[in-house]
Structure 1
């Protein structure tokens, strides 16, 4: 008799996105071990889509092989610097494109409002992890407003790899004040339709975030 298809068949994409969210949200610590059995139980699927999703995460550089499974990749100091350099340029471009769209009247008022509301959520977050999640939502909102899906995809891959550093940075109350000010500078430049100013402010913000991270690690 032909077996019923596994209820999890075709769910590798769902598993992959669920695991990517864990990285984006800073839920996974560097070197933390992940096993197929534990992930299958947590997500309520068979091991097959887990195995496929883990293969994609390895290709993304988010996990590496470990005894009896995989582990969250640990970044060296040089890798962190390289990722932040890339992030600064990508986020600068995103802010510039968003401001260009605003100057041409192409950015919907709702998009601008969502960016401002996201910044307010960062400032009001009760914990560093909540602040990191709100911070990612803000940067995603700016990325979407750039109107370039390829750019947003590239940014997503960078954000996932450095999410842990964001949680660490936002644990510092003094740095949080700097973040709020710098967010306002980026958003104001977008609202005013000033592409060059938006790019510079976004790049300076990410460069400063790298300096903050390196000071504490």
Structure 2
């Protein structure tokens, strides 16, 4: 079967996915200007799919119009506050649902073990003082918990929230005080899921995101 247009290398969708990965990996800084020409050269594609991909990113609020291109959007303090309120409830629900599925025997042992492994990877990156690796591992853990919840609509909402926050996650995980605190909080969430205790997992996740919101430093 032939690949669809969206899945072809060099398509607008492929470029969009590549750029989204760069955002989540912290490769772009808040306020950084991006041009069609530079991105097309970097990605080895024409300017047309880049233009279409940037249009999608504009619609999603990840970039904003700028001179001769776009700039990576930065959250204002009030926007960050609103987003973390939403994120706390979404992630609390995800942890609760994951723990509920565990209690019902709906999570495979490998899925739960993968959560512990993801926590270990965050801890290793933090101990190595590698903020970018820490951000990637941290996002991978939260995505794994979102997937374990088994609710695709919740997972989609979480991805949208994570993407808006991702561009400044690297800078925040470069703070040794906050970076050192997250491992214990992560382990508390996963312990609640593993034990099949929905309320424990919910409270641990909510407390973690609320703490993240207090530690969050919007770009200046």
- Both structures adopt the same fold (TM-score exceeding 0.5): yes
Match of 2:188 in 1: 185
Structure 1 CA distance for aligned equivalents of residues 40 and 167 of structure 2: 24
Structure 2 CA distance for aligned equivalents of residues 213 and 65 of structure 1: 25
Please say if residues 168 and 213 of structure 1, whose CA atoms lie closer than 8 Å, have aligned partners that are also in contact: no
Structure 2 CA distance for aligned equivalents of residues 184 and 35 of structure 1: 41
From 179, 191, 194, the equivalent of 1:176 is 179
From 153, 162, 166, the equivalent of 1:150 is 153
**TM-score, length-scaled by structure 1:** 0.92
Pairing 1:59–2:63 present: no
Pairing 1:197–2:200 present: yes
Secondary structure at the aligned position of 1:65 is classed as strand
Match of 1:159 in 2: 162
The CA deviation at 1:214 is 4.7
Please say if residues 80 and 218 of structure 2, whose CA atoms lie closer than 8 Å, have aligned partners that are also in contact: no
The CA deviation at 1:75 is 1.3
The CA deviation at 1:16 is 0.6
Task: Calculate the aligned-residue CA RMSD, in Å.
Answer: 1.7
Structure 1's consecutive aligned runs of 4 or more residues displaced over 2 angstroms after TM superposition are 214-217
Secondary structure at the aligned position of 2:45 is classed as coil
Structure 2 CA distance for aligned equivalents of residues 49 and 91 of structure 1: 33
The CA deviation at 1:216 is 10
Any gaps of 5 or more consecutive residues in structure 1?
Answer: 1-7
